[in-house]
Chains A and B, each alone.
Chain A
Amino acid sequence: MSNKMNSNLPDENGHFGQFGGVFVSETLMSALDDLTHMYEELSKSAEFQAAFDNDLAHYVGRPSPLYFAERLTNQVGGAKIYFKREDLNHTGAHKINNAIGQALLAKHMGKPNIIAETGAGQHGVATATVAARLGLNCKIFMGEEDIRRQTLNVYRMKLLGAEVVPVSSGTKTLKDALNEAMRYWVSNVDDTFYIIGTAAGPHPYPMMVRDFQAIIGRETKEQSIAHEGRLPDALVACVGGGSNAIGMFYPFIDDVQVQMYGVEPGGYGLETGQHAAPLSAGKPGVLHGNRTYVMADDDGQILGTHSISAGLDYPGVGPEHAWLKDCGRANYVVIDDNEAMDGFRTLTKVEGIMPALESSHAVAYGMKLAKTLPKDQIVVVNLSGRGDKDIHTVASLDGVEV
């Protein structure tokens, strides 16, 4: 495997080394070609960039702060811990960055209907939000199991005017929502734009989602220099499909002194098989339009996954993460359900910040890592979303009905 680091990927066919690419049925090829060309053109257009930046500033509320968690740092007793506060964005997570970018594309391409898949509901809410604002019709595909776990976000989407389509096939979670959204797209490809929320799917999605999320890493760079006069020593972000992590990592890929840690959900523990950590315990394969690490049995059938956080409950991962793993540029580690819950409770009590259960995985690993590092080092944890949506899950763990 090549050790060459490269931020110029993907190649023109969407490959990150052996990963990525386009693996879809022929009906979608022309729509993906159109999208690739339109994105290439618009991403170079100053006007489009200005519209995107304007929305990020005045609608999302960017830049999001880089917050020094002094009490937590003292309690952990190691490196300085900073949080990139994506939880403070409009709609409560990083997902809005990409939803705005892709909705602008949809509008530009004259597609009146948008669809999206969602796991935790954060991408669904972000998409329903931008659809409301741009006056586009919106359908959100969501697994029945996730609808049960994330009632609050389901209701938010409905209030925003989106139709939430329950998906009852397979494991009734994020992967099945993605399958169903793809099926709908094939049948309605002429007038429908599919806003994929994670850095996976066929090319150009992984690249496009990364580019729209890269604002996270770019701001972090500037803010770290403003606060500390230098870049951080380590970045930590949770990885389901991997959109917040790639957004944080990408601008740092060529800064090889900055360590990167992607945190996969260990569920009940890797040894139980009940997890959603393909980079740590899966194999390369093809799922949802790209080649990447997947969780599958020996016969290549995709396995059901488990994570306490619906947003990380996914058997694949964005292809650029697969590439960063294989070339050794990023490290991928695991935090299980219990550790994530500890992270959730600690951050809530010590800093008064209630993280999403997805982000709690990054919080937990960030503390673990900081403890092993000297006090003059800097760890930045991407706080990708806020925890309001998870109150029901946490309360039921505590035996409380809310």
Chain B
Amino acid sequence: MSRINNCLINLKAEGRKALIPYVTAGDPTPDHTVTIMQALVKGGADIIELGMPFSDPMADGPVIQLACERALEAGTSVRSVLASVKTFRESDQDTPVVLMGYLNPIEFYGYESFAKDAAASGVDGVLLVDLTPEEATDVVEYFRSQNIDLIYLLAPTTTMARAKKICDLASGYVYYVSVKGVTGSATLDVESVREHVEKLRSVTNLPIGVGFGIKNAETASAVSACADGVIVGSVLVNTIAESKNEDKEFIAQALANVLSPMREAMDS
């Protein structure tokens, strides 16, 4: 059983919901990434989504765009991201890691090599923002054969018929994008999320994570009442941006300070 499945099943048994932070790997430098991942776990992360920076992040708002620029400027590459995960695994064998990014760096790396190298580094899932399920058919097997879960996005604009098709292809969990917009844009509408998630339950048994627009403990807690996982990104990336000139311990503490209240609110 995959590390992601394991994690989500255990949480369910405990009656808890998954807290899934996103940070961009290599931001502010590749040297920070492992410390930041460890800090996220200390702050209450159940699964880590690690962004692979791309020069043209079409689905991201300014906060993550700037993170990509900082990370690339500091020399982050697909290889350095995989190396960070490998180092992280030396001290943490339990926390699932999902790589999130855009397709072109993977096209250039080669799908088969990427899936193999990712698995060997301890990656559990991959979410490629611009890989639609229609276009994924040729590459799915590379990931499946390495036991890497392919995580797909569902949007408010996704019809239920299409959601069913996507969920049938997905494993691990599905990621419901709560607002029509880019990352970090608006605050979500909890009531509309609840309605959508309930509808999605009728087409899939997979755990449903909700992301985009979750900025504080209050929203995290409200969303966790209906979803299986809460994905938090821009608010953390912004914290890194604000403290990027401080030492690693300071950044780690700043991230834990954002995450811990969300954890507490979700568990209470």
Contacts and interface: CB of A to CB of B under 8 A. Distances in A.
Interface in B37-65: 54-62, 65
> Which of the listed residues A21, A22, A287 has the most CB atoms from chain B within 10 Å of its own CB?
A287
B180 interface: yes
A298 B108 contact: yes
A23 interface: yes
B162 interface: yes
B104 A285 contact: yes
Contact of A22 (B57, B72, B109, B134): B134
Interface of B: 54-62, 65, 72, 77-79, 102-109, 129-132, 134-135, 152-159, 162, 166, 177, 180-182, 185
Contact of B78 (A24, A288, A300): A300
B83 to A, nearest CB: 13
A286 B177 contact: no
A294 B59 contact: no
Interface string A8-40: 000001000000011111111111000000000
Given A25-B129, A289-B130, A183 B58 contact: yes
22 contacts: A23-B131, A25-B58, A26-B153, A26-B158, A27-B181, A30-B158, A169-B65, A170-B56, A179-B56, A179-B58, A183-B182, A187-B181, A189-B157, A286-B103, A291-B107, A296-B104, A299-B108, A300-B106, A301-B54, A301-B55, A301-B105, A302-B56
A66 B90 CA distance: 70
Interface string A211-249: 000000000000000000000000000000000000000
Contacts of A288: 56, 58
A299 B78 contact: yes
Nearest to A289: B130
Contacts, number: 121
Contacts of B129: 25
A70 B116 CA distance: 62
Contacts of A291: 107
B108 A26 contact: no
A291 B132 CA distance: 12
Contacts of B156: 27
A149 to B, nearest CB: 21
A284 B130 contact: no
A40 B155 CA distance: 25
B58 A286 contact: no
Contacts of A289: 130
Nearest to B185: A187
Interface of A: 13, 21-31, 169-170, 175-176, 179, 182-183, 186-190, 283-289, 291, 294, 296, 298-302
Given A183-B61, A183-B182, A300-B106, A26 B78 contact: no
A285 B102 CA distance: 11
Nearest to A287: B104
A300 B109 CA distance: 8
B178 to A, nearest CB: 11
A25 B181 CA distance: 10
A89 to B, nearest CB: 31
Nearest to A182: B58
A289 to B, nearest CB: 7
A24 B109 contact: no
B54 to A, nearest CB: 7
A289 B135 CA distance: 11
Which 6 pairs across A and B sit closest by C-beta, in order of nearness? A300-B108, A300-B105, A27-B155, A187-B181, A30-B157, A26-B153
A56 B6 CA distance: 62
A25 B153 contact: yes
Contacts of A22: 132, 134-135
Contacts of A294: 104
Contact of A23 (B130, B154, B159): B130
Contacts of A283: 108
B105 A299 contact: yes
A346 B60 CA distance: 46
A29 B58 contact: no
Contacts of B130: 23-25, 286, 289
